[in-house]
Structures are given as C-alpha cells and as structure tokens.
Amino acid sequence: MKSHDPSSPAYRKAHKHYLRSTFKSEPDTAAWSAFRLQEKRYKSRFPRPTLDDVLDVASAIDNDHPQSLMKSAGWSCGSCNATPTQSLPLSGNPGGAFIVPRIPGLVILPGFIRPEEQRTLIMACLRDHALFPNETNLDIHYNVPPLGIWSLWEKHWHCQRTGVDPSIDDTIINLKATASSSSKNSESAPSRAAPGRPLTNNPPLSISNFPVILSTPQPPPTPASTLPPLPASQLLYKLRWANIGRSYHWGTKSYDFSKQLGAFPEDIRVICRRAVQAVPWARVWGDIAGDQDWGDEGENWRDWHDSYEPDAGIVNFYQERDTLMGHVDRSELSSTTPLVSVSLGNAAIFLIGGLTRDVEPLPILLRSGDVVIMSGPSCRRAYHGRCSRCPRKVTSTLMSKCHPSPNTAGVPRILEGTLPGYLGPHPDVLNCSSQFYDLQDRRDGDESSGVDWAPFAEYMKTTRININVRQVFPRGLHEAFRLVILYLL
Ligand SMILES: O=C(O)CCC(=O)C(=O)O
C-alpha cells in the first residue's frame, strides 16, 4: 500500500497525526507570511501537495516523458502556465531557456546538463568535492577519514553486495568531541545529527562593511558531543553540504577571507560558465535593465559572457525529508552577477519570493539536469528605496544606496520517487532516456561510462544534489580590494 493513497486507513491515521502535531506546535497560521504558508503547503506529507500551481517549464515541451515519471511516483503535474514565461532559444540546448517576467533576471534552462554529464557530476560531488580540503557538515562533528565518507560507504556497499559480512567493513566514524570537551558550548551544537544550514540574519556584504566582516572572528563551530558515533553506511545519509572554492563560515554566514582561496573545481566551473555563456543576456536584460538599480556594480550584464568567473559554492545534498528554509544569499560582494544552480537526482520544489516574505513566492519544479540562473539586482538582491534595518553608522560614499533587500528562496520539498531512469541502476536500458536527449547521444568527455554506477544509483534513489555557485567579487575588484584592505590593516 502506498502511503500517498488517501483512501487507506494508514494514510488517514497519519494525516490526523500530522495535523495534530503541526498545528499544535504552530497554531497561529494567520500570522504566517506568504512565504511560510507556501513552505508549509509543499512540505505537507498528508495530504501530499498538488502541483498545479507549480511552474514546470518542461511541460511546455511536447513530450510526456517527465510527466509519466511524476505520475508513476504519485505526483500530480506542474504547469507551464503557472505564471507567464517567455521562452528563448538556446544554442546547443534542446530545452531552450525560459525567463519569468515577474522575476527579472531569473533564467531557467531545463535539461541543460545531459544525462551522462549528470552522472559524471554526481560522481564528482560524492567522490571529490565532499572531501578534504573542502569542508562538509560531517567534518564539524565527526572524524571523517581523509579519504572521505563516500569511499568508505562504497567499500561497504560492495562488501554487502558480494556477500562478505557487511558489518566487517562498515567503519565506525567517531565524534571529534568527547562529552567533557564541548558540551558546555551547546549553542552551535545541532539539534539533529546532521545539521542543516543555520539561519543567521547577516547584513548583506558591501564595500563599506567588508573591513568589519574581515575583522569579525570566525571561530570554528563547536563539535557536538552528544551525537552517536555512526557507521559509514549511515553517516553518508547525513551528509548535507560541502563547501567548494572560497571557504564559507556558516556561523556568521560570511566567507572566511582569512583562509587561502580553495581551488574552484574545474568541472563545475566549466559547466557554470557554459550556462552563463549560453544565455542571450540582451534578450533577458535589453529592455528592462534600465528599470533596475544596479548599485555600484553598474549595469554589468553585457560583460557576463566574458567576465563571469565563479569562485565559491555549496554542494547541497538532500535526502527525501530534507528542506532548505527560506533564506537570502547576500554574502557576496557582487550582488548582481549570475548565481548558477544545478539540480541532480530527484526532483524538487524551489520557492523564489519577492522583496519581503509577504510576497507570495513562485514555486518552480526542478528536475535532474535543470539549471537555474539568478541574476541582476531584483533577482539576486532587489534594491529598494528605504530599509529600516540599515544601521545609521554605515554611511560610505562607496555605498550609495541602502542595503538591498534580497529575494528569499527555499526548497520545501524533495519529490520522492522521481529519480530519472538514466540515473537508476540500469541507466543504459531502453526507456531510460531523458526528455531532451537520446542516451546514444553521448558526448566527448563522458567519464561515467566504464565506471561502476551501481553504488551511485543506490545512493541517488533517495537523494537530490544541488550545486549552488556564486561569484563573490565583481571581476577586477578582488585584487584592488585586497590591496586596499592590506593598506588599511
Ligand atoms: O537546492 C536548491 O535548489 C537551492 C539551494 C540554495 O538556494 C542555496 O544553496 O542557497
């Protein structure tokens, strides 16, 4: 019996329990912001949300492949008419590109990443990117060996498969802290074994507060002492994020500029640059850029094909019940250059809001291979005339405008059971094609063929990976900035 069958007694019982527990803890729904209401709606397990209001640009393309995958997993369909969109041709991408006039600067590239390339990226995220020297959420609390959690998990998985006693090779990963060493400082200890991302109301990074941020202590988070040691087979499923490139300090929600800039992974850089270079930016911004306040960076979109250079990012790993609460990305000095977000694995609902949490957000269905680009002032950070949270002291000739008030975004739901066949255990059998590509259509550079995909397929059954990539400094500014800072210090 499927848990999403509303006529089943198990479903009805669970629904009752869900309503009781949800509304007991948060009874005052009238006070919820529009963003919070939508988060709640899409998080709901009982009843499962319908997706009729969810923007699904791929459904505009004449092919019922993605819809049938959704239906067989018990999901209703999204709609290409959930909000007006405009389609743009995109050289080399059969899915084209879509812009959403209601959110200037938002560009959706459905199916931009080919199936083989998706597999290669997934393997790299697990094998290479969630690995020292990149920090992961697990490293905060656990003594993860330098080879990383994936290699231990994979080894164990093979043992299990070949019938060797699986417990022999399931390495136990111990905590960093002992009960006596850290329990006093419990504020940064997570409420669950693998912390999500802490919500900190940090001010947007700007030229004027950069020196303050630079001198703000960024102590390492306190390892929790109350978590259980876990075998690698379980700990992998608690992996939530890995930092790539510039080091990010989750406690203060700012980059740790005192740390040496980590090398940005070339595979991700190439894909993000390819996405930014594929977009006809004149079609996105040509008619509307003048209506926006581009702040000190000026109207820089004409240069993006050339100047976009990612240097920081997060790989997010979601299990089926994970969510990413509404948040704003404002830790980058460059607040208009494209933020590129790549989806892999199970599909998800992505919510993007307006200037405040009271603006009803737009829900967007993101599937494996989709790329979303958020660019320009009103999508990355919408400037507006006045902001009561601006500290009066922060007045700088360099900061001509009030702090921007960024758009809120979040991921309230992973859509269970929506892993495409080409990421499953038999990716080469017929009927595993993607909506946009024939699987025979292999590209040069596909490193996934010849590798044992089976363990990756097993992990991806319940997983969504999102690669979220930013450019922290506008091009050319970083060096100038560094010199000024060195001079000031
Ligand atoms: O998972 C996603 O699609 C979005 C992630 C995100 O917004 C973030 O990492 O800041």
The answer on pLDDT for 331 being more than 80 is no
CA of 423 to the centre of ligand 1 (A): 21
Contact 364, 98 (CB under 8 A): no
Angle between helix 115-124 and helix 266-278 axes, rounded to 10 deg: 140
Q: Is residue 343 very low, low, confident or very high in pLDDT (cuts 50, 70, 90)?
A: very high
Q: Is residue 194 very low, low, confident or very high in pLDDT (cuts 50, 70, 90)?
A: very low
CB atoms within 10 A of CB 22: 16
In this predicted structure, which of 82-96, 115-129, 271-285 has the lowest mean pLDDT? 82-96
CB atoms within 10 A of CB 24: 8
Ligand 1 atom with the shortest distance to the CA of 241: 9
End-to-end, the C-alpha distance of the chain in Å comes to: 66
Contact 107, 95 (CB under 8 A): no
The answer on pLDDT for 164 being more than 80 is no
Contact 439, 115 (CB under 8 A): yes
Residue 172 or 328, more confident: 172
- Most trustworthy range by pLDDT among 70-84, 85-99, 367-381, 418-432: 70-84
Q: What is the pTM of this model?
A: 0.84
The answer on pLDDT for 224 being more than 60 is yes
Share above pLDDT 70 across residues of the chain, in percent, rounded to a whole number: 77
CA of 412 to the centre of ligand 1 (A): 11
Q: Is 368 in the pocket of ligand 1 (CB under 6 A)?
A: no
Note the pLDDT of residue 103. Answer: 93
Note the pLDDT of residue 4. Answer: 66
At 91-131, the pLDDT tens digits run: 778 889 999 999 999 999 999 999 999 999 999 999 999 99
CA of 324 to the centre of ligand 1 (A): 7
Q: Is 314 in the pocket of ligand 1 (CB under 6 A)?
A: yes
DSSP state of 191: S
Chain mean position to CA 20: 31
Q: Is 409 in the pocket of ligand 1 (CB under 6 A)?
A: yes
The SS3 assignment for 12 reads helix
CA of 300 to the centre of ligand 1 (A): 24
Q: Is residue 357 very low, low, confident or very high in pLDDT (cuts 50, 70, 90)?
A: confident
Q: Is 331 in the pocket of ligand 1 (CB under 6 A)?
A: no
CA of 330 to the centre of ligand 1 (A): 13
Q: Is 341 in the pocket of ligand 1 (CB under 6 A)?
A: yes
Q: Is 329 in the pocket of ligand 1 (CB under 6 A)?
A: yes
d(CA 96, CA 98): 7
Q: Which residues are annotated as a binding site for Fe cation?
A: 327, 329, 384
CA of 430 to the centre of ligand 1 (A): 32
Q: Is 120 in the pocket of ligand 1 (CB under 6 A)?
A: no
Q: Is 408 in the pocket of ligand 1 (CB under 6 A)?
A: no
Residue 409 or 464, more confident: 464
Respond yes or no on whether the N-terminal peptide bond of residue 406 is cis (omega within 30° of 0): no
Note the pLDDT of residue 390. Answer: 32
Share above pLDDT 90 across residues of the chain, in percent, rounded to a whole number: 52
Q: Is residue 483 very low, low, confident or very high in pLDDT (cuts 50, 70, 90)?
A: low
- Most trustworthy range by pLDDT among 79-93, 204-218, 310-324, 346-360: 310-324
Note the pLDDT of residue 400. Answer: 26
The SS3 assignment for 150 reads helix
- Report the pLDDT averaged over residues 246-264: 80
- Report the pLDDT averaged over residues 190-216: 60
Q: Is 468 in the pocket of ligand 1 (CB under 6 A)?
A: yes
Among residues 407, 350, 342, 418, which one has the least CA distance to residue 377? 407
Q: Which residues of 177-212 are buried (b: 16+ CB within 10 A; e: fewer)?
A: beeeebeeeeebbbeebbbbbeeeeebbbbbebbee
Residue 18 or 326, more confident: 326
The SS3 assignment for 58 reads helix
Residue nearest to atom 8 of ligand 1 (CA): 468
- Report the pLDDT averaged over residues 257-265: 80
In SS3 terms, 173-190 reads as ECECCCHHHHCCCCCCCC
- Mean pLDDT rounded to a whole number for the chain: 81
